[in-house]
Amino acid sequence: MTKVEINEELCKGCGLCINFCPSKVLNYADYTNNKGYHPAKLINPEKCTGCTSCYLVCPDCCFEIYR
Ligand code: SF4
Ligand code: SF4
């Protein structure tokens, strides 16, 4: 069982995590955070394998992954 949490207020919407997720779990939210960016969001959390790619590529340390 894997749980991924994203700190949406730290996110600057760069899209790196979305592009690097091999399981297509992530996409942009349709709302904006307090900085005016569309944050990354889990759209298919059940497909997450816990690979940690999103955690490793995010330049703003938005991710916490529990396995
Ligand atoms: S841990 Fe891996 S599979 Fe899960 S959201 Fe992050 S990149 Fe995608
Ligand atoms: S890599 Fe980090 S900053 Fe970039 S979109 Fe994903 S969560 Fe946001």
Digit-coded pLDDT (tens) for 21-40: 999 999 999 999 999 999 99
Domain boundaries, the chain: 3-66
End-to-end CA distance of the chain: 6
Q: How many CB atoms lie within 10 A of CB 10?
A: 15
23 lines ligand 1 (CB under 6 A): yes
Closest to 29 in 3D by CA, of 11, 46, 51: 11
Closest by Cα among 39, 40, 37, 67 to 52: 67
Q: From 3.20.20.140, 1.20.120.1200, 3.30.70.20, 3.30.360.10, which CATH number describes the 3-66 domain?
A: 3.30.70.20
Ligand nearest to the CA of 26: 1
Mean model confidence pLDDT for the chain: 97
Which residue is closest in CA terms to ligand 2's atom 4?
Answer: 14
Helices (H), 1-67: 16-20, 53-57
On the question of pLDDT at 42 being above 90, the answer is yes
Q: Model's pTM, two decimal places?
A: 0.96
